Structure 1
Amino acid sequence: MNICMAHRGWSGKAPENTMAAIRLALAEPAIGGMEIDVQLSRDGVPVLIHDFTLDRTTSGSGLVMDHTLEELRQLDAGIWFDEKFAGERIPTLEEALQAVKGRCTLNIELKATSDMYPGIAEKVLELLERYEMKDEVYITSFDHDLIRQVRQLDAQVVTGLIVLGRPVLMLEQLEAAGANILSMGYPYLTRELACEALEKGYKVIAWTIDEPRDMQIVMSWHPEVQVCTNHPDRMLELV
């Protein structure tokens, strides 16, 4: 059965990377996974937000990394989506872990390079240790070196490379980074690559698929391809 992964929480129904979107996804038992994006505040606290700037999804502006947690918490992260979500805040990763623990797999995307946010891997792993959630999460990133760093710090955690495009020697790159997951933009993923990766023991995530026709195609390739979507309801109707 293809796992349905809610992208940035249930972001088709609530503002992305907020507790409202997380709670909506958790309320649907058929959603087996959830993806969130993590950066660091200026004072080094892991927080949930996708863009490197605040402008699109909050009432603030400027770089996330230039604001302390206290400053970030004063921003409205919901009203841009719909007035009924006014007052939603940028959550901390700790809040997300507390909500999700024991309920579904959490795919934590590190929105960073190891140079941009020094210590981000250690801070995330420290929280996973504290909440005993290492076996409930994936840690993924576009940055191969950062994933290699996570693997060196803790070989127990499942890690993945995020890829937009179709590089040569893809499986060799996963091996070099010590990754367990291929997380690929679905227009670039093929049945052949997905099945080869799965046969070699890797997990495969296809993102971000919102059209039912595309979902059906990807799901037909192999029952273990995980589908990351802003609209889990569309996938669950197909299932």
Structure 2
Amino acid sequence: MNICMAHRGWSGKAPENTMTAIRLALAEPAIRGIEIDVQLSRDGVPVLIHDFTLERTTTGRGLVMDHTLEELRELDAGSWFNERFAGERIPTLEEVLQAVKGRCTLNIELKATSDMYPGIAEKVLELLERHEMKQEVCITSFDHDLIRQVRELDATVETGLIVMGRPVLMLEQLEAAGANILSMGYPYLTRELACEALEKGYKVIAWTLDEPSHIRTVMSWHPDVQICTNHPDRMLEFV
């Protein structure tokens, strides 16, 4: 059965990458995965936020990496979505791990390059070790070198390449990075590629599917294709 993965938490119902969005997803037993975005504060703490800048989803301004955790925690990360969520804060990855442990698979996207956030892989792996959650997560990124670095640091954690486009030698790139997950933007993913990857032992995540017709089409390709969506309720109608 296709796994339903909530994109940035249940971001169709609550502000993305917030504890409320995470808890909403956890409250629905049929949601078996949650995708989140992780960056580092200026003082090196892994936090949840998608954009490299603060303006879209918080009351702050400037780059995430230029603000300490204390400064980031002072920002409102909810009222942009709806005034009902005023006062939502940017959560730390550690807070999310504590909430999710034993309940759901977590897809941790590193929103970075190894040059932009030196040490991000080590810091995330350290938290996973501390909370004994290495087998409950996967780590993904657009930066293939960063994923290779994660694999070199710890070969026991599942890793994946995120791809927007349809590059040649896709499966060869997975092998070169030591990754076992292909996470691809659904307009570029084909039934043939998805099935080939699955047959060769890779996991496949299609993102971000919000139209019911698109969800139903991709689900029909193979029962093991995971669906990442902002609106899990639209997928669960078909499950």
> TM class by shorter-chain length?
over 0.9
Verify: 1:10 aligned to 2:10, yes or no: yes
Cα distance, 1:194 vs. partner? 0.1
Name the CA distance, whole Å, in 2 between partners of 1:219 and 1:238: 9
What is the identity, as a one-letter code, of the residue corresponding to 2:130? R
The yes-or-no answer on 1:197 pairing with 2:197 is: yes
Cα-to-partner distance string for 1:29-84 (whole Å, 9 max, x where unaligned) = 00000000000000000000000000000000100000000000000000000011
What TM-score do you get using the length of structure 2 for normalisation? 1.00
Give the structure-1-normalised TM-score: 1.00
The corresponding residue for 1:70 is 70
1:185: Cα distance to partner?
0.0
Give the match for residue 234 of structure 1.
234
Size of the aligned set, in residue pairs, is: 239
Look up the match of 2:225.
225
Percent identical among aligned pairs is 89
CA distance in 2, matches of 1:60, 1:154: 35
Output the amino acid matched with 1:163.
V
Aligned AA (1:130) = R
Partners in 1 of 2:166 and 2:127 — Cα distance? 33
Q: State the SS of the aligned residue for 1:37.
A: strand
Residue of structure 2 equivalent to 1:28? 28
Match of 2:91 in 1: 91
**Residue 238 of structure 1, CA deviation:** 1.4
The residue type paired with residue 58 of structure 2 is T
Work out the CA distance in 2 between the residues paired with 1:30 and 1:71: 36
SS at match of 2:115: coil
- In 2, distance between residues paired with 1:148 and 1:165? 20
Q: Which amino acid aligns with 1:149?
A: Q
CA-CA distance at 1:163 after TM superposition: 0.1
- Alpha-carbon shift at residue 118 of structure 1 (Å): 0.1
- Cα distance in 2 for partners of 1:77, 1:146 equals 28
Unaligned runs of 5+ in 2: none
Question: Within 2, Cα distance between the matches of 1:79 and 1:151?
Answer: 38
Unaligned runs of 5+ in 1: none
1:164 maps to: 164
Which aligned runs of 4 or more in structure 1 are off by greater than 3 angstroms?
A: none
Aligned AA (1:38): V
Please give the secondary structure, in 2, of the residue aligned with 1:226.
strand
Cα-Cα RMSD: 0.3
Whole-angstrom distance in 1 between the partners of 2:89 and 2:178: 35
Report the 3-state secondary structure (helix = DSSP H, G, I; strand = E; otherwise coil) of the residue aligned with 1:188. Answer: coil
1:37 aligns with 2:48: no
SS at match of 1:56: coil
Q: Does residue 125 of the first structure (1) align with residue 125 of the second (2)? A: yes
**d(CA) in 2 for partners of 1:27, 1:104:** 10
